Structure formats: structure tokens, C-alpha cells
Amino acid sequence: ETGVTQSPTHLIKTRGQQVTLRCSSQSGHNTVSWYQQALGQGPQFIFQYYREEENGRGNFPPRFSGLQFPNYSSELNVNALELDDSALYLCASSAPPGIRGNYGYTFGSGTRLTVV
Amino acid sequence: KNEVEQSPQNLTAQEGEFITINCSYSVGISALHWLQQHPGGGIVSLFMLSSGKKKHGRLIATINIQEKHSSLHITASHPRDSAVYICAVRSFAGNQFYFGTGTSLTVIP
């Protein structure tokens, strides 16, 4: 059983550019959520995808968008990068809320994005 | 004010000590999670709670829904327990997640 894999592990982008981060979900999990963690802060919820549709969103602007694919892997896209977007981006997969046996989330190791 | 508050922010303990980390939240929740984050960012989900108490090895997590409070206890602490412990809640409506800023634990041999 594989865990959650995120790619790339590190990335440097220039302000104004666009970035795509990728996440593979754990086997048997069909819900993926994304989080932004700034240095010294707790993670902030960006959004969640279930069955290829966004079903929950935090307080992030529309330039943060996502996709979930039929194999439940996911992408996070950020357009028009700003310096404050520099952070660790974490992905987590889980079974759907309320499903018996959903005992938690499996997190990836994150992608560290630096915007210069 | 944050929806999730943790205390203490930083904690240093001697090996073998009993440790308690507290979490209070202000929103209605469907579940509360305790997470462990090691240097470099990797996060491990320790517990998911909606009521009562759970135990896994030396870790114990409790939740009081009426008081909107949860605690994470570590018995017989060990230097390998050194990490940041994060409390996170999933709101009852809207699939929103809120995180505490974490408790940085250092266990000294």
C-alpha cells in the first residue's frame, strides 16, 4: 500500500509565474485536500476534492485552483504567483467523510515553493 | 481570533516526563485530528476523534465535545517524540478545516 506522494519536493518560481503541484492519493482513498503552511504557522486549508469535484474551500483567492483525476490523484495550480505564496504545500488523502473505517488522513511530505 | 487555539506553543521536557498538549476550538466540528509534523514538513496523522478517548501506544487523545476541548497526552516521553504537534478540526458544515499553529515539543535525554 503506497502513501501519498507529492512532486516536486522543492520549487523556485518568479513572481507572476504559474505553478502546478501534484499529489497522488493513498490506495483506497478518493478524497484529496490541499493545505498551505507558511513558515512558523499551522497549515491553512485551501480546498478539498471528492470524486473529481471541489467540495470544500478555504479562504483562498480564485488564482488557487485544483483538479482531481479519475485515479484520485490531484493537482494544485496557482496563477500569478506572489511573494507571499512562498510556503510548504501539503496534500492529504482520505476516505470520504462519514465512511466507516475513515480513521484519518495520510499526508504527503509537501512541496516547498519559493517565489522570488 | 483563531478558530483553533493550542497551548503551550513551545514545550521542553525531560525524557520520561508525562506531557499534555491542549486544544480548544470555537466552531462546530465533525471531527478533530491530532497531527505530528517533523522537521522538513512531513505530517503524520496520529488520531481522529469525534468523541471520547483514543489510545495508541504511549499516546492518548481525549475530546470533550461540550467544552470544545481536546488534549493529547504522551506518557514516558522520549527524544524521538520531539516534533510539532498540530490540532486540526473539520467543521460540521462546509468541509472546512481549521488548524492550530502547533506545539513545538522538545524532549531532552
Contacts of B49 (CB under 8 A, 6+ apart): B31, B32, B33, B34, B61, B62, B63, B70
Answer yes or no: is pLDDT of A113 > 60.
yes
Q: Is the pLDDT at B22 greater than 50, yes or no?
A: yes
Which residues make beta-bridge pairs with B4? B25
Task: Please give the pLDDT value at position A108.
Answer: 86
Contact map slice: B 36-95 vs A, CB within 8 A: 40-48, 86, 88, 90, 94-95
- Give me the mean pLDDT over the A39-67 stretch: 89
Q: What local confidence, expressed as pLDDT, does residue A84 receive?
A: 96
* pLDDT bucket at A100, cuts 50 / 70 / 90: very low
pLDDT confidence of residue A29 = 80
Q: What was the pLDDT predicted at A1?
A: 45
Burial of A13 (0-12, 13-18, 19+ CB in 10 A): middle
The length of chain A is 116
More confident residue, A35 or A28: A35
Asked if pLDDT for residue A4 goes beyond 70, the answer is yes
Q: Determine contact, residues A92/A108, Cβ cutoff 8 Å.
A: yes
User: Is the CB of B41 less than 8 angstroms away from the CB of A37?
Assistant: yes
- Residues of A within 8 A of B9 (CB-CB) are none
- Give the pLDDT of residue A2: 57
> Residue B33: what residue type?
H
- Please tell me the predicted confidence (pLDDT) of residue A103: 47
Q: What share of chain A is helix, strand, coil (3-state, %, to 5)?
A: 5, 50, 50
What is the pLDDT confidence band of residue B90, given thresholds at 50, 70 and 90?
A: confident
Mean pLDDT taken over chain A: 87
If we measure between CA atoms, which residue out of B90, B89, B84 comes closest to residue B102?
A: B84
Q: A57: nearest CA in chain B?
A: B96
Beta carbon pairs, A and B, within 8 Å: 63
